[in-house]
Chain A
Amino acid sequence: MNNPCPFSMRHAVKKDGAAAIELRQLSKVYKGARTPALNGIDLTVREGGFFGILGPNGAGKTTLMSVLGGLLKPSSGSVWINGQDLQRHRAAIKRVLGMVPQEPAIYPTLTARENLEYFGRMQGLSGKHLQSRVEACLEIAEISADADQRVEHFSGGFKRRLNLVIGLIHEPRILILDEPTVAIDPHSRALIHQRLRELHAAGISILISTHYMEEAEQLCQEIAIMHHGRILVQGTVGDLLAMQRNETIQMQLTDDPPEALIRKLQQLPGLQNAFVSGRCVMVTAERPDEVAVRLMQTVHEYGLGVHSMGFGASSLEQVFLSLTENRAEK
């Protein structure tokens, strides 16, 4: 259940910064659920880093965000934020953490200014400091002109922008965003991207979950791909693309491979890594052309056919799809 991810690039991550967020063997099983929503997650977000979590719907991204926000208790494992254990220093961690939930968590019948003032007060701000933060956030979101309009009259993009800046009202050191640009207009998306880059440049550690590949590719330094509560692969965008581009063979089998075949594939000479997900086999090797022949032979020995075979990947989306598509179908 808690096997290390076969494609983990964790060790390639530079260790020159302290960890803003560190998860160790984190699992979450909902009451009555047969499968865990999170299954042995290991993840490190460096201080000042910009980390993206990619995954299809149901991968466990929102559960992970909820655990990080202190909304859900993990079933096992540990969560360290800003060098402190979340379970033991919840209040201290909440002060440095800014959460931006997936859906705009705002009061529709209040104005944008009233929403910011309210959440600012809930973060312990008051007086002139609160007012200056409210004005700053309105400017960051570029909604100053509509600050005194009720939020219920806002477009989806305006709501998302307000949702983002409410998470910034108390100037957090770590920002966690759960799919912040879902279903919004290109202008608002571009603005949110721009603001996130500025925040990152200002030294704020950012963890973002998204299912937009280009968003992750453009914004994030490091990426983890989640599926069925597990992290399938983790590393920098460059690492992931390189892994797929030159040294990777993807093979679709005609049937599910038996355990014995999987074990044999993993022991084939010349292989660096082998990952089997359903009928999809993905391997990395220094000489993929030689390994491909051995792979075909081995598969045929077990009476299986090869539906398709390809070498390398050219985009993060292809990496993502090759890792998750077959599992999703299954």
Chain B
Amino acid sequence: MRQNLFKLAASILKEARIIGRDRQALFLFFVMPVVFVLILSLALRDAFGERPGASFPVLVVAGDRGEISSSVIQAFRSNSHLQLTESEYASEAQVRQWLIEGRYKFAVLIPSGAMEQAKRRIGEMAARVPKDLLMEKPVAVRVLADPALRGDYRKVLEGALSLALRGVEMRLGGEQLDQILKTTLGERHVPMPDMEQTPVFAPVQSEVVTRERGDPVPTSVQQNAPAWTLLAMFFLTVPLSVSFIKEREQGSLFRLQTMTVPAWVVLGGKALPYFVINLIQMASILAVSVHVLPLLGGDRLDLGHSPSAILVMGASASIAAIGFGIAVAMYARTAEQAASFSSAVVMIMAALGGILVPKTVMPPLMQDLAVFSPLSWGLDGFQDVFVRGGGVTQVMPEALGLLAFSALCHGIAILRYESRI
């Protein structure tokens, strides 16, 4: 075993020397993917609705035409960045659908009878009904938001809405105080209702509306950085398989077969340098997405909270890509055949897996088919980290799927390698 590990180390060194002396390949491995991410993240930023200074379509469903609705509408109308649409009758389901379709980024649902409810509650509070015995519940003004809407914009809209509602709250409290003062005599002291302890309105908290499948819509950089990392990793199967076949054509692979070199040493010696290249590709693409893209006016990629989850996904995707490349190399007869076959299959897997076209804009049937693409598993895993803030546990299903795919490919490759002897 020890001797085989020395052989593996020698194979890795040999492969690293061969790759290191191929300048064109190095350019393709490291520069091209980074350039792609930069160009596409910037070019597609508008398609993902992140243009600076853009105005957002906002919907206010005024189920109650009283002061609450008018205050909210007035507050939003005063903001030039909002394209306000009012509606009286839209149902919640309809509003959710509009958000999914991207028609609105933010929607406020004011329930019917909200004003009367607010008045009743403040009346009870003025009558000093104990908090636990209040009959009227807080008025629930609900907010629905498109997950593609940047978080900071959403918070600003929530703040504006809260201020509008607090204004109504204060006015209602003042009116109630006046009423009490009118109906009481003399200098009897009537304290103001304690609105801090017993608010009139429920706290404003927006709910992110997701599609039926639960896939949040990523931003441009959240889509492009992992997508092009994965595509770069899988495209490495082309030089990997071609290099294998060249060795076969040159006879060096057959020469190794006449020696006491196990198949795993030959395959491992070829695969491990490409694994390291894959991880460097990933690191460089993510670094550019975090540090360079914002300098060019794009959004900074938020890497989430789990570097280990990113590493798990990167390693799994690389192992899957290498397994595929080696399997192709074992079955292809010529370098040309390996190059054309592996690049065609990778492009199909990329198209199917939401790399070229985001899955969120695909029709349901295509989204169902995406499950057959390992690149889709990889993209889901990365977006678990970048978009949903997941950790190692959350990416484990995708990582295991990629490893299983790799194990299948490696198994097929080893069988083929052994069967040739």
Q: Footprint of B on A, CB under 8 Å?
A: 66, 69-73, 91, 94-95, 97, 99, 101-110, 114, 117-119, 121-124, 126, 150, 166
Question: B18 to A110, Cβ gap below 8 A?
Answer: yes
Mostly, the A contact residues are loop
For A167, the closest partner residue in chain B by CB is: B255
Interface residues of B in 365-421 (CB under 8 A from A): 420-421
Interfacial chain A residues near B260, Cβ < 8 Å: 91, 94-95, 123-124
CA A2 – CA B347 in complex, angstroms?
Answer: 52
Question: A109 to B254, Cβ gap below 8 A?
Answer: no
Question: A114 to B17, Cβ gap below 8 A?
Answer: yes
Interfacial chain B residues near A114, Cβ < 8 Å: 14, 17
Interfacial chain A residues near B252, Cβ < 8 Å: 105-107
For B255, the closest partner residue in chain A by CB is: A105
Give the shortest distance, in Å, between B1 (CB) and chain A (any CB).
Answer: 13
Interface residues of B in 249-277 (CB under 8 A from A): 250-252, 254-261
CA A107 – CA B21 in complex, angstroms?
Answer: 12
CA A213 – CA B289 in complex, angstroms?
Answer: 67
Cβ-defined partner of A101 (8 Å) among B255, B259, B261: B255
Give the shortest distance, in Å, between A67 (CB) and chain B (any CB).
Answer: 10
For B262, the closest partner residue in chain A by CB is: A91
Interfacial chain A residues near B13, Cβ < 8 Å: 118
CA A106 – CA B246 in complex, angstroms?
Answer: 11
Given known A122-B7, A124-B260, contact A105–B18 (CB-CB < 8 A): no
| B212 interface residue (CB < 8 Å to A) | no
CA A109 – CA B26 in complex, angstroms?
Answer: 15
Give the shortest distance, in Å, between B260 (CB) and chain A (any CB).
Answer: 5
- 23 interchain pairs (CB within 8 A)? A66-B254, A69-B258, A70-B258, A71-B421, A72-B421, A73-B421, A94-B258, A101-B254, A104-B250, A105-B251, A105-B255, A107-B252, A109-B21, A109-B22, A110-B14, A114-B14, A114-B17, A117-B10, A118-B13, A122-B10, A122-B11, A122-B256, A123-B260
Give the shortest distance, in Å, between B157 (CB) and chain A (any CB).
Answer: 60
Give the shortest distance, in Å, between A243 (CB) and chain B (any CB).
Answer: 35
Question: B258 to A106, Cβ gap below 8 A?
Answer: no
Question: A99 to B255, Cβ gap below 8 A?
Answer: yes
Give the shortest distance, in Å, between A170 (CB) and chain B (any CB).
Answer: 8
Interfacial chain A residues near B255, Cβ < 8 Å: 99, 101, 105, 119, 166
Question: B3 to A104, Cβ gap below 8 A?
Answer: no
Give the shortest distance, in Å, between A116 (CB) and chain B (any CB).
Answer: 12
| B89 interface residue (CB < 8 Å to A) | no
For A69, the closest partner residue in chain B by CB is: B258
